[in-house]
Structure 1
Amino acid sequence: MKVAVIGCTHAGTAAIVNTAKLYKDAEITVYERNDNISFLSCGIALYVGGVVKDVQGLFYSSPEKLKELGAVTKMRHDVIDVDLDRKILKVRNLETDEIFEDDFDKLIITTGSWPIVPKFEGIELENIVLAKNFYHSNTIIDKAKDAENIVVVGAGYIGVELVEAFETNGKNVTLIDTQDRILSKYLDKEFTDIAEEELKKRGIKLALSQSVVKFEGENGKVKKVITDKGEYTADLVILCIGFRPNTDLFKGKLNMLPNGAIIVDEYMRTSKEDVFAAGDSCAVFYNPIKKHEYIPLATNAVRMGTLAARNLVKPTTKYLGTQGTSGIKIYDLHIAATGLNEGLANYYGIEYDTVLIEDSYRPEFMPTHEKALLKVVYEKQTRRIIGAQILSKVDLTQMMNTASVCVQNDMTIEELAFVDFFFQPHFNKPWNLLNIAALNAIG
C-alpha cells in the first residue's frame, strides 16, 4: 500500500507515525515544502519571551525520526497538482526545480493553514512579519532586538501572548483589533474586561474597534501603522489576523466549506475515495452547533491525523467532534474556555441562558482561597450545556476539559448540578465550582 502525505506539521506527523505503526507493509512518502517539520507554532510567544530557551524543544519530530519509522520524507518538495481520479501527484523539487510524478493508493492531506494577509497599502515594507512557523519566530526575535515600538495586529491568542512577551522584554507595545474586545472569539466581556485591565496595567496600549488602513515607512522600513481611528509608531509589526485553510490545490476536486476547509466525515474521509484529510486544512464537526466549522487548533489536528491513519484501510474509529477547547495564561491569569460563549451563541442563532459565579475555589478556612470567575452557557429549550469559561489566578483550567466532556455528551445543566466530584480542602469545596454554577442556574 502506497501512502502519500502532503504536509507535515501536527496532523501530518500524527498521521505518518500512526500509519507506520499500524501498517508494516505501507510505503509512506511525505512531501513538505519547508526544510523542517513538526514545529509547535503555539510556542512562538514562549520562545520570543525567553521562557523557552532552546527552540529545538518546540520540534517534536524530524525527518530522521520519520525515516526510522520507514517513511521517506521529501523536504523542500512542493506538490503542484493532484489527479485524484488517476491517483497521481505532480511534485516540484524546490532545490533543483525538477518536476516529477508519483502515484499513491491512499492520500492523506495535511496541508495546514496560512495566516490571512489583507492587501494593505505598504504591506511590502520591511519589518512587517507573520507569526506562524519556525522562520517567523526567528525573524521576530531577530528584529525585536532593535525595535523599540512594536505593533501587533490581531487580538486572538497568538497576538495577546506576543504583546505580553514583548512587554516583558521592555518594549513599547500596541495591540490593534477590529473587535471592541480582545479574545472576543473565546471569551465574554466579564472575562475580557479583566484580561484587558491586566494588559493596560503593564502599559500595553489597546487600540480596539479599529481597522488597519495602511502602513507608512522610511527607507523601505515600516514606521507607522495607520488605522481608521489613529496612527501608531512602529519599528516592527506582527500580523496575527487569523488563518485560512491551505487547500487551493484541491479546489473543485473535494467538498469544502466556502472558506476552503475540506469537509471530512467521522472517519476523516473526504468526498473522494481513498483520499483522507486532517488538521487545519479541514472543517471539523463542532458539537455545540452539530455542524462542520473551521476551528484550527493543534489538539484537533493531532486527533484527526491519528484517526486518518487508523481509518486508512477500513473505518474503525469515529471522530467524536470538537468543542474548540482552549486556554491562555496572561501574566498571573489562568483562562480557559470550551464550546460557545454568548457572542458565538448569538452568531449561530441559538437561544441560550447563562449562569455566572464568582467564588473561592476552596474553603475560606484555608490559608489562601483565591476567587475564580466561572460561566456556563446552556441552550434554553433543551437545557444542554453548550459552553463554559473560567478565569482565576490559581490554575483551574482543567475544569474546562471537564466542561468539554459535558458539551460533547449533551449533558444538561440539571445533570451538571449533581455530578460526582471529589472534595478535599486543599483543592476545592464540598460542591465543586461547576456544581455550584449549575445549582445556581436551576435555582
Structure 2
Amino acid sequence: MRYVIIGGVAAGMSAAMEIVRSDESAEVTVLERGEVYSYGQCGLPYVIGGVIPSIGDVIARSVETFREKYHIDAKVNTEVTNVDVEKQVVSGIQTETNQPFQVTYDRLLIALGSDPIIPDWEGIDLEGIHTLKTLTDTMDIMKNVKEDVIHVTIIGGGYVGLEMAENFTKLGKEVSLIQRGEQVASIFDQDMAEHIHKEAKNNGVELILGESAQGFSGDKRIDAVITDKQSYQTDLVLLGVGVRPNTSFLKSTGIHMNKQGAIHVNAYMETNVNHIYAAGNCATQYHIIKKVDDYIPLGTTSNKQGRIAGANMAGNTITFKGIVGTSIMKFFNLTLGRTGLTEKEAKRYKLPYEIQTIQANSHAGYYPDGEILNIKLVYHKQTKLLLGGQVIGKKGVDKRVDVLATALYNQMSIHDLLDLDLAYAPPYNGVWDPIQQMARKAKA
C-alpha cells in the first residue's frame, strides 16, 4: 500500500507514525514544503522571547530520524500544487531545483495546516512586517528584533498576538497592540477580557481597541501603521489577524470545504472523495456542544486527528469523538483558559442559558499565597447541562479548565459537578472546589 501525506508537522507526522506502526509493509511518502519536520509551533513565541533557549528545542524529530529509523520517505521543499483524484496522483514543484514532481498514491492524507492571513493592505511588502507560523518566520523575527527596534506594533489580539506582546516586552521593546474590536481575546466574553486588558496595562502594553489597520508607510522599511482613525509610528510589525486553511490548490478536486476553506471530514477523517483523508488545521472538527462541524485550529486536535487518520488509512477503525473548544494560554502573570461555549456564543446559537460567576481563592483561604480565580460558567436554563466555562487567574486555572472540559465531554449538568471527587489539600484547593461552589448556587 502506497501512502502519501501532504504536510510534515503535527497531523501529518502523527499519521505517518501510526501507519508505520500498523502496516509493516507500508510505503509512506511525506511531502513537506519546508525543510523541518515535526516541530512545536506553539513554542515559537517563547523561542523569540528567550524562554526557550534554542529553536532546535521545539523540533521533536529530525528529517533524518524519520528516514533512517522509520523508513519514511520524508521529502523537503516539495510544494504540492495539484491533486488528480481520478488518476490518484499528487504533483507540484521541488522548490530548491524548480523541477516538477509527481507521486502516485493508494491512500492520501492532506495535512497542510493553515497559513497566516496577509491582508492586501498598502505597504504590506515593506521590510519589518512579519507573521509567525514557521521556524523561518521565527528566525526572521529574531534577526529583525535588534537594538534599533524600539517599538513593536502587533495587529490582532488572538493567541499569537497576546503571546508575542508578552515576549516582545521580555525583550525590552515598547509594545502596542491594535485590535479592531472592543476587546482582545475574542474567544472570551467581554467581562472576562477586562482582566486581560488590565494585565496588559500593568505590563506596559498599549491596547488600541476599536481601530482597524488599513496600511503601512515607510521607505523600504516600515515606519508607521495607518488605521481607520490615525497613524502610529513603529519600528516592526507582527501580523496576527488570523489563519486560513492551506487548501486553495484543491479547488478543482471536488473535495468539500467550508466557507473558510477547511476540508469537511467525517469521524474517520475521510473526505467525500474516495481514498482521500484530511486532518489538522486544514480540516473541520466536530464540536460536541454546538453539534456542528467547526474550525478551531489547535495543535492538540491536529495530533489527535492525524493519529486517527493514519489508523484508518492503514485499516484500523478509530473514530474522532469531537472537541469542546478547550484552550489555554499564558499572558504575563495570568493564565487564560476556556472550554465549551461563551455567553456570546450561547446567544449566537439561540440557546436558553444562565450564567454563574465567582471570584474564588485558588486554594484553601487560610493557606498562604493564594491567588484569585475569576470563573464564569454557562449552562442550559432548562436542562442545566453545562455549556461552557472561562477561568482567568494566576494559579490553578489549568486544573479547573480540564475538569470543565471533561464534564462537557461527558455532557454533565452543572449539578453533576457537585458529585465529582476532586483532589483536596489546603495548598491546592478548598474542601469545595470553586466550580463546585458555583454549582451549589445554581438554581435547581
Instruction: Report if TM-score (shorter chain) is over 0.5.
Output: yes
2:407 corresponding residue in structure 1? 406
Match of 2:156 in 1: 154
How much does 1:346 deviate? 2.3
Residue number among 164, 172, 196 corresponding to 1:170 in the alignment:
172
Aligned residue type for 2:439: A
Give the Cα separation in 2 of the matches to 1:209 and 1:196.
13
For structure 1, which segment, 342-351 or 193-202, has the greater mean C-alpha deviation from structure 2 after superposition? 342-351
Show CA shifts across 1:180-234 (max 9, x none): 111012x12232111111111222110111101111112x111110111222111
Deviation at 1:315, TM superposition (A): 5.4
Alpha-carbon shift at residue 312 of structure 1 (Å):
1.2
1:336 and 1:397 in contact (8 A); partners too: yes
SS of the equivalent of 2:397 reads coil
Larger mean Cα displacement after TM superposition, 125-134 or 57-66: 57-66
Partners of 1:414 and 1:442 within 8 A in 2: no
Aligned to 1:125: 126
1:375 aligns with 2:379: no
Using the alignment, how far apart are the partners of 1:32 and 1:327 within structure 2? Answer: 28
* Residue identity opposite 1:174 in structure 2: S
- Are 1:176 and 1:206, in contact at CA under 8 Å, matched by a contact in 2? yes
Secondary structure of 1:426's partner?
coil
After superposition, the C-alpha distances for 1:213-257 in whole angstroms (9 at most, x for unaligned) are 111112x11111011122211110000100000011222421111
Q: Distance in 1 between matches of 2:32 and 2:286?
A: 27
Q: Which stretch of structure 1 is more off in the superposition, 348-357 or 72-81?
A: 348-357
Q: Which amino acid in the other structure matches residue 436 of structure 1?
A: Q
Q: Secondary structure at the match of 1:354?
A: strand
Aligned to 1:85: 86
- More deviation, 105-114/226-235: 226-235
CA RMSD of aligned residues (A): 1.4
Partner of 1:274: 275
Deviations 1:139-194 (A, max 9, x none): 11111113111100000011011111111221111101111111012x12232111
1:144 aligns with 2:145: yes
SS in 1 for 2:305: helix
3-state SS of 1:65 partner = helix
How far apart, CA to CA, are the structure 1 residues paired with 2:398 and 2:77?
Answer: 39
Match of 2:311 in 1: 310
Deviations 1:375-406 (A, max 9, x none): 11112233211211112221331221121111
Indicate the percent of aligned positions where both proteins have the same amino acid.
32
Instruction: State the shift of 1:344 in Å.
Output: 2.2
Q: Distance in 2 between matches of 1:275 and 1:438?
A: 45
Distance in 1, matches of 2:207 and 2:411, equals 38
The SS at the match of 1:387 is: strand
Q: Give the AA of the match of 1:438.
A: A
Match of 2:48 in 1: 48
Question: Aligned-pair distance for 1:342?
Answer: 1.4
Displacement of 1:319: 0.7
Deviates more, 1:283-292 or 1:80-89: 80-89
Indicate if the aligned counterparts of 2:264 and 2:283 stay in contact, CA closer than 8 A: yes
* 1:184 aligns with one of 186, 189, 192: 186
Distance (whole Å) between structure 2 residues aligned to residue 422 and residue 364 of structure 1: 16
What's 1:346 paired with? 347
Q: Give per-residue Cα distances to partners, 1:352-378, cap 9 Å, x unaligned.
A: 211111111222221233221111111
Q: Which residue of structure 2 lines up, in the alignment, with residue 260 of structure 1?
A: 261
Gaps spanning 5+ residues in structure 2: where?
Answer: none
Residue 326 of structure 1 and its aligned partner are, at CA, apart by: 0.9
After TM superposition, the score normalised by the length of structure 1 is: 0.96
Residue in 1 that maps onto 2:221: 221
C-alpha displacement at 1:9, in angstroms? 1.2
Three-state SS of the structure 1 residue aligned to 2:415 is: helix
Q: In the alignment, does 2:388 pair up with 1:387?
A: yes
| SS in structure 1 of the partner of residue 318 of structure 2 | coil
1:70 and 2:71 matched:
yes
Offset from partner CA, 1:89-135 (integer Å, 9 cap, x none): 12322122222322111001101100111111111111111111101
Write the mapping of 1:414-429 to structure 2, written as runs, cut at 5 A: 414-429=415-430
| Deviation per residue, 1:282-329 (Å, 9 max, x gap) | 011011201001111001100000000111143521111011211111
Q: Aligned partners of 2:381 and 2:86: how far apart in 1?
A: 47
* Deviating more after overlay: 34-43 vs 275-284: 34-43
Q: How far, CA to CA, are the matches of 1:310 and 1:255 in structure 2?
A: 22
Alpha carbons 1:121, 1:215 under 8 Å: kept: yes
Q: Return closer, same or farther for 1:100/1:203 CA change in 2, 3 Å cut-off.
A: closer
The corresponding residue for 2:32 is: 32
| Whole-angstrom distance in 2 between the partners of 1:183 and 1:190 | 11
Letter in 1 for 2:149: A
- CA distance in structure 1 between the aligned counterparts of 2:218 and 2:368, rounded to whole angstroms: 55
Whole-Å separation in 1 of the counterparts to 2:23 and 2:176: 51
Deviates more, 1:146-155 or 1:358-367: 358-367
* Aligned AA (1:64): E
Please tell me whether residue 108 in structure 1 is matched to residue 109 in structure 2.
yes
Which structure 1 residue ranges, 4+ long, deviate > 3 Å from structure 2?
none
| Cα offsets for 1:40-92 (capped at 9, x unmatched) | 22112111111011110111122112111110011111122111122111232
Q: Is the 8 A contact 2:31 2:79 kept in 1?
A: yes
State the alpha-carbon separation in 2 of the partners of residues 199 and 332 from structure 1: 10
Aligned counterparts of 1:78 and 1:144: Cα–Cα separation in 2: 29
Q: 2:362 touches 2:396 (CA, 8 Å); kept in 1? A: no
Unmatched runs of 5 consecutive residues or more in structure 1 = none
| Structure-2 separation of matches of 1:416 and 1:386 | 13
Residues 267, 315 of structure 1: 8 Å contact kept = no
Task: State the alpha-carbon separation in 1 of the partners of residues 22 and 314 from structure 2.
Answer: 10
Counterpart AA for 2:160: I
CA contact (8 A) 1:413 1:442 kept: no
1: CA distance between counterparts of 2:39 and 2:232? 32
